[in-house]
A = this chain, B = another copy of it.
Amino acid sequence: MCQLLGMNCNVPTDICFSFEGFSARGGKTDDHSDGWGIAFFEGKGCRLFLDAKPSIDSPLAELVRRYPIHSTHVIAHIRKATQGKIALENCHPFRRELWGRYWVFAHNGNLPDFHPENHGIFQPVGDTDSEKAFCLILNTLRNNFPKGKPPLRLLYPVLREITAELGSLGIFNYLLSDGEHFFTHCSTKLCYIIRQAPFAAAHLIDEEMTVDFSELTTPSDRVAVIATTPLTDNEFWTPIQPGEILVFQDGLPINFE
């Protein structure tokens, strides 16, 4: 299966450190080598880098590791194909526009018995279960709120219901964002860490690399990093509970339960 990496912050932050460790899993420390992708929101704009090559061999991934793009909402994915051939159109994250905002989605898992009829507005371009699930989520949101994005308290129950429906079909960990809210769903495996003052040093699991965040931050910075499995070995990562959708904003989870 695949792996997920997400970041949500209160000020635009680069993801170079976390992506260094994460992208090593795309063929070096792990075997997720069937493509990768990363999306950065910058205001309402959104950049998406995709490659069907392993992230350790990709000149694009090298650029993302070296070129600090500052963003408040980042979603990254390394792929180990379950459904759908190795091809650009099957690389996550997927992006669509809904209500005049870009929506970005990446999935870790497998929905073996998911064969929806594509009668909605949003239709898959590739042939993964993941993109089909994303289209179903967006079609459901749009059908419930045709006029525009509703307040989160109205959107959340609709998202929870369609997520539960999809989650009943298999493994369905995902990251979803429109650049305003950052949704994370744990089906089997997803964890997060909040970095805030007092900042300390962090050491990667997948690369021999340490960063002292106290040298790079201001006291008001707050960064949530969400990943399939912890990226560092000297910090405590909080597991998200199976069945839970955590919504992050400004680097903190908002709890609806």
Residue numbers of A with Cβ under 8 A of B are 42-50, 52, 59-60, 63, 67, 87-91, 95-97, 99-102, 118, 121-126
A123 interface neighbour in B50, B100, B122, Cβ under 8 Å:
B100
Contacts of A96 in B (CB 8 A): 96-97
Q: A-side binding surface: helix, strand, loop or mixed?
A: mixed
Distance between Cα atoms of A88 and B179 in the complex (Å):
13
A44: contacting residue among B48, B97, B122, B126, CB under 8 A? B126
Q: Are B42 and A88 in contact (CB under 8 A)?
A: yes
A to B CB contacts below 8 Å, 30 in the list: A42-B87, A43-B87, A43-B88, A44-B87, A45-B50, A45-B52, A45-B88, A45-B89, A45-B90, A45-B91, A45-B125, A45-B126, A46-B88, A46-B89, A47-B49, A47-B88, A49-B49, A59-B67, A60-B63, A60-B67, A63-B63, A95-B95, A96-B96, A97-B122, A97-B123, A97-B125, A100-B124, A101-B125, A102-B125, A121-B121
Give Cα A239 to B63, complex, Å: 38
Residue in B closest to A66 when the chains form the complex, CB atoms: B59
Bound Cα distance from A126 to B126, whole angstroms: 26
CA distance A118 to B180 in the complex (A): 21
Contacts of A95 in B (CB 8 A): 95
Q: State the Cβ distance, A122 to closest chain B Cβ, in Å.
A: 7
